[in-house]
């Protein structure tokens, strides 16, 4: 049996001292202050002095090792004992070889496949508890938010499609009503039992004209036209404050390891 250690770092590899200091302040407040979470890099140490983790690279595996607690990319924070594994050193090496094939560097994703996710998988295969929830909580929250936003957008699009279909059905129905009304009002045959008199026909002609005007102004757009309007910046909401800032917060893809 061998002990398994979790090494945690503050992510301070943005290249900007101001940004790095901001991340440190966020971690101090949200983790040290209220125990919620932060922006962290993690690595696992088992058998030997090296720690194992995962990161982005264009080619090859994203799994890498370095001397434990000595990763030069980040600021070291703490070490946590996760437990003991029953795996032999041979089994651990085999697990690491498998993970190296399963975790290529180009599949790295800030929110759904980062270093903390890798460490969770490694811990699971070693048979020890996974990382504490606060280590990767911000990434989990971000991933959930994106999923909710995606589902909402899909539901809105589906609702638009159903609305367009319903309006087309209504349009065809009104067109038939108008056609029947106008065709029936143009005849000059004598009135028969059960038919309308001339005054009623006059009312129907008036209603037919009104229906035509309604249809000409309310003809449904196609779903493509609606989607194009949504994508057209000229159709964006214009009641925003004139002095509202358009600055956006940059996302550093090296966060969470």
Q: Which residues are catalytic?
A: 41, 115
- Bridge partner residues of 7 (DSSP): 43, 79
220: helix, coil or strand?
coil
Decide if 167 contacts 211 (C-beta within 8 A).
Answer: no
Handedness of CA 153, 155, 158, 160 (dihedral sign): negative
**Neighbouring C-alpha atoms within 13 Å toward the C-beta of 37:** 16
What number of other Cβ atoms are within 10 A of residue 143's Cβ?
A: 18
Please tell me the distance from the alpha carbon of residue 209 to that of residue 161, in angstroms, as a whole number: 30
- Bridge partner residues of 129 (DSSP): none
| Residue located via tokens 């811990």 | 123
161: helix, coil or strand?
helix
Decide if 82 contacts 129 (C-beta within 8 A).
Answer: yes
74: helix, coil or strand?
coil
């Amino acid at each position: 049996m061998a002990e398994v250690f979790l090494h945690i770092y503050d992510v301070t590899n943005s290249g900007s001292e101001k940004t790095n200091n901001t991340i440190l302040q966020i971690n101090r407040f949200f983790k040290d202050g209220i125990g919620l979470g932060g922006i962290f890099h993690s690595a696992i140490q088992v058998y030997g002095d090296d720690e194992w983790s995962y990161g982005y690279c264009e080619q090859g595996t994203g799994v890498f090792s370095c001397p434990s607690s000595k990763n030069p990319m980040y600021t070291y924070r703490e070490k946590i004992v996760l437990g003991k594994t029953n795996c032999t050193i041979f089994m651990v090496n085999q697990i690491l070889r498998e993970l190296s094939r399963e975790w290529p560097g180009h599949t790295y994703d800030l929110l759904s496949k980062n270093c903390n996710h890798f460490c969770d998988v490694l811990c699971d295969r070693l048979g020890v508890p996974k990382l504490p929830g606060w280590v990767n909580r911000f990434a989990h929250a971000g991933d959930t938010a994106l999923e909710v936003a995606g589902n909402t957008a899909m539901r809105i699009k589906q609702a638009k499609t159903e609305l367009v279909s319903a309006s087309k059905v209504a349009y065809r129905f009104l067109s038939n009503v108008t056609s029947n009304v106008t065709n029936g009002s143009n005849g000059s045959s004598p009135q028969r039992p059960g038919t309308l008199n001339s005054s009623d026909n006059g009312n129907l002609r008036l209603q037919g004209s009104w229906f035509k005007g309604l249809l000409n102004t309310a003809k449904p757009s196609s779903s493509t036209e609606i989607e194009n309007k949504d994508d057209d910046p000229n159709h964006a909401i214009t009641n925003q404050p004139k002095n509202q800032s358009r600055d956006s917060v940059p996302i550093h893809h090296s966060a969470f390891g």
